[in-house]
Structure 1
């Protein structure tokens, strides 16, 4: 075998890719390998992995680059005949012609599943036509719709043979095979695909003159729907159905545009009204707006379902953008004109526009009500009265004028009424008179909830207490759903329960556990999620533990383990021996794609659980949370540690650190009193230091990592002198506390359009600390993390729940990896939103990194992220854990850096931060004051709207400008004609 490995290395490094070498070198070598058993061939896999990457060292850092294409082509062919489905990670390097030469020699049973796996990154680079040829040849048994959706959009593209040449397109390729338009095309309407990008390229080629006509798939399908190649009615309905499939925004936008491209006729639109109205529930605005435009076309037709439209469209008033609301207003105009009985229903529905903090929209609604409303209607008057606190003063003037003129007007005087309602023609005197009257009756801030009590919110309450399994049955049920648990505290509790209930389990109980062990083996083989893989490996380690100890005559436990092993064996020699990784030891586990060590402490903690079960120890884990999302009641933690002290047992250092990191910092007096009663020596000193503000560290320091962790929980910004000599303190203190500086970025020629990141953490420098890292602190493993380990909630929640009292180090990484201000990827939006949700669930003060995330999220392009940030601001102020002035300074600095337009923040304030309570209105006033003072001397885009918001807020709060810096700043801006009017109004308050 060693000779074969040497030969593989020599051949691959010297290989030159051409047909002659394929026939004389590569194929003969493959045939020789196929003469060996699969078990022997598999021994070449580590060699292939080493040869694939060329290692080098630069500036003290180890880096790896991919081998040359010819060598990769050689190695991919060898790997194809040596590995199983999970191990083939070089398939992309294998071209179609090579695959066709290998399949007659060796066709693995996993080939069809491997090709159809649309979730892996390591599939073959095969196009639609090549896949169809494999089906024709009988090697590919079936082609799943998900794989079809991935490859079909590219069928029209003709790659240029020149390196810098332009690709061309031919949509007639869709007509090559009958099955394409009869069956396969519908996969595009069921799965995510690259059809939008492909269409953009085809349209660009047409604009450049590369193609004689528009060869985009959207235009092609439109033509095919007219000439009978595609069922047009099915095409329209399938397009409407895509808006309920949770597609990404760009994909949904493409289908919305495609519906317009199909140019549905009036008859078709009338027949599709129900399906079109169902689109109103879409979370994206473009399809909704497209449907509204289509309804506008048929609003005057006899078959228009106007009553149902009015009922269904009311759900859009809160979430839709301005252009959509204007379209609804125009449709309502047609309905009110043609169907007089609907006037009041339309007026009442449009009253919801008064909740929009857009003066022009409110004036539109007021004008409609003045034109079509009946002032004598008590229902309409009561509705208007309920919305009055939300109206701008000019809008109140219109409604007041409408009421005054409507009381004496005769019937059928629509023209006069409309003239009176026209807000653009109301003279200044009438406006001022009505405005003053409205202001006198305006409840404004007085109608809001009062200032909240600033008592510290409870962390550990009865309603968030975590229930530990009450008995063996509860434990077995909880264990059975281990892979289905959404919250990390459930997993923590279940693993801790293994220690308690393992001694009570018998053979029958272990038999009932077989399904969860089978799921674990499946997860190890198929899952790409590191945390899930680690959890599965832990379960298989636990299974091995008791299976090896089975001494019963029946051997039921050993037999169960054997069945799992046999299940992983191949049906024939193509599958080879069972996948050893499914039975690898927990101690040898590591992420398969990264050298990051953020999961190492969790791995070592779970190894300690295995050791306890093996030794028969029933001492509880210190770190199991008692209250959601990840807190341990301080008194309970003291009692747990007292149990270790009584048993003269030393806690696992990772368990000890995690327990302290999760300790709820409340009820300190009770916990201190309990500690004085049940703890002694170092344990007592440690807890007094943690819980008592005035107590300093006191030796001995046997548990150094626990002391450092206690210091980070108690006062993260303090670097305690007593800890500096500890062997575990090898990194700069700010790396452990997450206190990073963020430097101002250079301005760009095109602000708001660049993908500039807010915080540039130099990850490669962190690795310089790896060699002299003590590897004793949980934080040390966390900061050597990478983007791929905090990808989204699957990783982020377990990691953040390790540090509910000080999530700053992880928050810094999330900012660095995901908080950009260009067009974000879906994983960026998902990750930022999840981080904000986690901060909402914690009770810790928001320090610099968390405030930076909050400020950046209030300016983020995604509305959902901004909404979470607004809720965090609301909750954080209520709980007294946000520095409001610092938040305003951060916002001012971000806007000054031209990272994002100011309009995003102003819009979010109107939608979810303004008028939440009297207290929050005053806090918002302070925030805006600090923000405005920190803006650049040259007025930024959107400043007028911000000042108008500030004016509205001051009027609502019955306040006026008292900050001299703000007065000076406004005085500097009076030179701008665009701002002069609003600044004058501010100064006259």
Structure 2
């Protein structure tokens, strides 16, 4: 009965209110099922296709009038419970506070959920005044969150006049309700709000005081005694302890500055100010110290508390905080004479600071107020002696025991060993161990998991039978889901996806072998495939992902290397072989024990198995050259293949390449590049009539401003016009990516290991070790990059030159993938760096890491420098030249580099400082004739290092540059000292 009546009211657009008023609670519940269906019908839309001058547009329009929709909305509002009404209308909270509902429904029907819904959803259209009116009527008990959301906007009203919105400052609203100033306004000091973000964009017709309208409001309220001034001061200071973000905390302390507490007020609120010193935000701390500077001269100042808490301030990374703390300590001594020793001991902590001016300020406080006979003070200063700058040492010479300075510094060099038990990768032989490993191989937990999977899956294959094959079903399901996923997964790379295709092929092989045992998986797989077929979007995409791995497309050339290894491994499964791939690492992250490699070669010979060329080249590149087993020659002699035996003998210095009959240069190439001896490379190049530039990754480069042109629409001319912009770019001058399409891998490796002696084309993994750069990303995923680096850890320059060419033309990263590539590759380089003779591109990559825009990447590059110098495996002069040439082209702000020097590289150890001198010596000598902005700090550091190592020679080219820079007035005093010292 009610259904028909309601339907008639809606369709004829009659007044719904009388009908709703007569419904009992039971009637309402019985109407709900009908209402849900009827509401969907009334709110239906239909598609509209329209042609215009730009083509065809597709829109939707409602089938029924707005009046009908409003009527059914009111019916739902009265009949539905809270859950149903929220599902039915996304704007139900706005309906609840609309004038229509407040006048026509709420007076006779107020849902139980009314107040809760408004507090939860916080309607955008609800104002603070309306909130208070609803509270006054007993309809709403506003939550803190609702008040915090609405109160900041309460003091601005607006009106529309001549189609223009006019805004007015109306603080009078704060006086309308007693709760506002007694309770609500204090919520702003206790909980996070957006009070600091209001009105910055508004033009107020009746207010010209600037953007900080609420700051002025609080100021006026305290001056008019409407708010207690002391209470406002205390609440403002204590906002620093509420965990507010940097911007909001800073805003409240802007309010504090506006209130401008007097010295007496500061002294009376010392406990509150001391609590604020624990804030993580420098603006808060600096503001407190500003007031303490004034109060420190007074007897009432709690100077002992300040001295006790000064350590955290003196260790701050913000220079202004440290300087202000030292100034206050100096003032304390002048007023409280008994505090001299405690202040000097505390000030000594600032001697650890890497900023020379801060050190000097602390040293002068100690010199002025300290007693050189106090052993406690001498011991404290002695802790920091090694870190002192020259001028600080001069100031503190009475406090320093010079006998310790004359002792010889002994620097122990410990060469990196990779083939140690700590790095040894476990061998899996049992069924359960292999299943466990395969289950995590596609999760990208370790960079070597893909390498291990290629050898372990064939081993697992031979252990399976009809009784245990079912254990692999969860792995097959996960692998299939991954291979059929069309969503971006930030945790895995393309290589993990290819591993999933490989495991899918393995599953297909086993389903043919054990059809009954894997019936459930077959049904699950077919069910998912059917779902893809029926989906309009996935119907045209899913088939490619079902192809065998041999037919799978690859994202870029470089993926072809692993692709060939997957195919090789799959061939082992098909033939029931359990051979390890030659390139399987034995030690993390990628290294191979030479004895293990030789044993694998012997296994291949015994099985009469053809060796994959790329597998062999990767394996050679993963042999650490600094670890040669004593009996290596005996093991090499057991190999039958003469070419492989010769290559390994040469690799381990048992055979010279000169004069050798190199019938298969493909086998020798990786070893020649890994050994990296200039005379051997020259001989090999001449033998092949090939400069091997691509394989070595050595290119000429420069860094300078370059013109770039782009199209921009000119609205005045009504057309696209060409615009020019200048970018400061690093560029390889003679870099030419591979133009020709490489031969298919299978054909290139065919006949390489046959007995034919005729010369063959040099084929190598380097034919594929390059990739393309898209506009906003690179085609090598951040989860794959390190795996490519580890394909040739002894010759990373070729791959890194491609990274530089594609990702590092500018020091600022404009896409997230390039930044992640940089961070990951620096982590990988940290793991493998073990030699001083890397090619230029590797050093250039490290130099760009030290200068790039990402702080994490810079710190990683710094860690590489520190570790490598500990092992004396860095050519600091070459690295410095790279940095100098980059700065010559203004590749990055020099301040970025000097900040890294002072925070990460300077004073690591005495030996590191010596290496840092060589680095800066090389860098300055290749910089501009005119000093670039910010270079003064670099010269100051170089001077300090020269003081520490006066016997080290300043390079003539560096002297030449410094002589030209000397013409600059601000640099002349420093450079004069430096050049005088270098001429002694």
TM range (shorter): 0.5 to 0.7
The residue that corresponds to 2:527 in the other structure is 566
Asked if 1 retains the 8 angstrom alpha-carbon contact of 2:454 and 2:581, the reply is no
Asked if 1 retains the 8 angstrom alpha-carbon contact of 2:706 and 2:729, the reply is no
2:608 equivalent to 1:648: yes
Of 435, 444, 458, 1:485 maps to: 444
The C-alpha deviation readout for 1:239-270, integer Å capped at 9, x for no partner, is 7999xxxxxxxxxxxxxxxx999879798997
- 1:558-707 mapped onto 2 (5 Å cutoff): 558-570=519-531, 573-574=534-535, 579-591=542-554, 594=555, 596-670=556-630, 672-680=632-640, 681-692=642-653, 695-696=656-657, 704-707=665-668
The residue that corresponds to 1:781 in the other structure is 768
Tell me the secondary structure at the aligned position of residue 481 of structure 1: helix
- Relative to 1, partners in 2 of residues 1:445 and 1:900: Cα closer, same or farther, differing over 3 Å? farther
- Relative to 1, partners in 2 of residues 1:346 and 1:679: Cα closer, same or farther, differing over 3 Å? farther
Q: Distance in 1 between matches of 2:861 and 2:918?
A: 18
2:363 equivalent to 1:400: no
The residue that corresponds to 2:830 in the other structure is 840
Q: Distance in 2 between matches of 1:635 and 1:923?
A: 37
Asked if 2 retains the 8 angstrom alpha-carbon contact of 1:638 and 1:674, the reply is no
- Relative to 1, partners in 2 of residues 1:23 and 1:211: Cα closer, same or farther, differing over 3 Å? closer
Displacement of 1:857 in angstroms is 2.5
Displacement of 1:625 in angstroms is 0.8
Q: Distance in 2 between matches of 1:736 and 1:817?
A: 17
Q: Distance in 1 between matches of 2:48 and 2:687?
A: 63
The residue that corresponds to 1:539 in the other structure is 503
Of 904, 917, 931, 2:896 maps to: 904
Of 428, 449, 458, 1:469 maps to: 428
Return 568-577 or 914-923, whichever deviates more: 568-577
2:741 equivalent to 1:770: yes
Displacement of 1:769 in angstroms is 2.5
Displacement of 1:346 in angstroms is 3.8
- Relative to 1, partners in 2 of residues 1:265 and 1:772: Cα closer, same or farther, differing over 3 Å? farther
Q: Distance in 2 between matches of 1:797 and 1:894?
A: 25
- Relative to 1, partners in 2 of residues 1:543 and 1:908: Cα closer, same or farther, differing over 3 Å? same
- Relative to 1, partners in 2 of residues 1:515 and 1:432: Cα closer, same or farther, differing over 3 Å? closer
Q: Distance in 2 between matches of 1:827 and 1:270?
A: 47
Q: Distance in 1 between matches of 2:693 and 2:893?
A: 32
Q: Distance in 1 between matches of 2:118 and 2:866?
A: 59
The C-alpha deviation readout for 1:589-629, integer Å capped at 9, x for no partner, is 113xx5x2211121121111111112111122211111111
2:729 equivalent to 1:757: yes
- Relative to 1, partners in 2 of residues 1:662 and 1:826: Cα closer, same or farther, differing over 3 Å? same
Tell me the secondary structure at the aligned position of residue 737 of structure 2: helix
2:422 equivalent to 1:459: no
Tell me the secondary structure at the aligned position of residue 827 of structure 1: helix
The C-alpha deviation readout for 1:387-445, integer Å capped at 9, x for no partner, is 536563453122221336999xxxxxxxxxxxxxxxxxxxxxxx999944437617799
Asked if 2 retains the 8 angstrom alpha-carbon contact of 1:689 and 1:696, the reply is yes
The residue that corresponds to 2:326 in the other structure is 366
- Relative to 1, partners in 2 of residues 1:747 and 1:402: Cα closer, same or farther, differing over 3 Å? farther
- 1:256-655 mapped onto 2 (5 Å cutoff): 306=273, 308-311=275-278, 313=280, 326-327=286-287, 329-330=289-290, 333=293, 343-347=303-307, 349-351=309-311, 363-372=323-332, 376=339, 381-385=344-348, 387-388=350-351, 390=353, 392-403=359-370, 435-438=394-397, 441=400, 446=405, 450=409, 452-469=411-428, 471-507=430-466, 509-526=468-485, 527-528=487-488, 529-550=493-514, 555-570=516-531, 573-574=534-535, 579-591=542-554, 594=555, 596-655=556-615
Displacement of 1:703 in angstroms is 5.9
Q: Distance in 2 between matches of 1:306 and 1:812?
A: 55
Displacement of 1:518 in angstroms is 1.8
Q: Distance in 2 between matches of 1:20 and 1:915?
A: 71
Asked if 1 retains the 8 angstrom alpha-carbon contact of 2:850 and 2:861, the reply is yes
2:920 equivalent to 1:952: no
Asked if 1 retains the 8 angstrom alpha-carbon contact of 2:350 and 2:362, the reply is no
Of 641, 655, 673, 1:712 maps to: 673
Q: Give 1 or 2: higher helix fraction.
A: 1
Tell me the secondary structure at the aligned position of residue 757 of structure 1: strand
- 1:136-155 mapped onto 2 (5 Å cutoff): none
Tell me the secondary structure at the aligned position of residue 743 of structure 1: strand
- Relative to 1, partners in 2 of residues 1:736 and 1:969: Cα closer, same or farther, differing over 3 Å? closer
- Relative to 1, partners in 2 of residues 1:734 and 1:549: Cα closer, same or farther, differing over 3 Å? same
Displacement of 1:213 in angstroms is 7.3
Q: Distance in 2 between matches of 1:291 and 1:679?
A: 78
- Relative to 1, partners in 2 of residues 1:981 and 1:361: Cα closer, same or farther, differing over 3 Å? farther
Is there any run of 5+ residues in structure 2 with no aligned partner, and where?
1-45, 64-83, 91-116, 126-162, 169-179, 197-210, 220-230, 375-389, 709-724, 749-762
Displacement of 1:922 in angstroms is 1.0
- Relative to 1, partners in 2 of residues 1:789 and 1:946: Cα closer, same or farther, differing over 3 Å? closer
Of 926, 929, 934, 1:942 maps to: 934
Return 899-908 or 285-294, whichever deviates more: 285-294
Q: Distance in 1 between matches of 2:950 and 2:314?
A: 21
The residue that corresponds to 1:828 in the other structure is 818
- 1:126-165 mapped onto 2 (5 Å cutoff): none
The residue that corresponds to 2:224 in the other structure is none
Tell me the secondary structure at the aligned position of residue 538 of structure 1: helix
Q: Quote the RMSD (CA, aligned, Å).
A: 5.2
The residue that corresponds to 1:803 in the other structure is 792
Asked if 1 retains the 8 angstrom alpha-carbon contact of 2:419 and 2:593, the reply is yes
Q: Distance in 2 between matches of 1:601 and 1:918?
A: 45
- Relative to 1, partners in 2 of residues 1:839 and 1:450: Cα closer, same or farther, differing over 3 Å? farther
Q: Distance in 2 between matches of 1:238 and 1:359?
A: 28
Displacement of 1:741 in angstroms is 1.7
Return 659-668 or 691-700, whichever deviates more: 691-700
Tell me the secondary structure at the aligned position of residue 418 of structure 2: coil
Displacement of 1:665 in angstroms is 1.6
Tell me the secondary structure at the aligned position of residue 784 of structure 2: helix
The C-alpha deviation readout for 1:518-552, integer Å capped at 9, x for no partner, is 2222222224453232121111111111111116x
- Relative to 1, partners in 2 of residues 1:724 and 1:606: Cα closer, same or farther, differing over 3 Å? farther
The C-alpha deviation readout for 1:701-755, integer Å capped at 9, x for no partner, is 67653322222222286646567787xx9x8621122112212424789xxx965
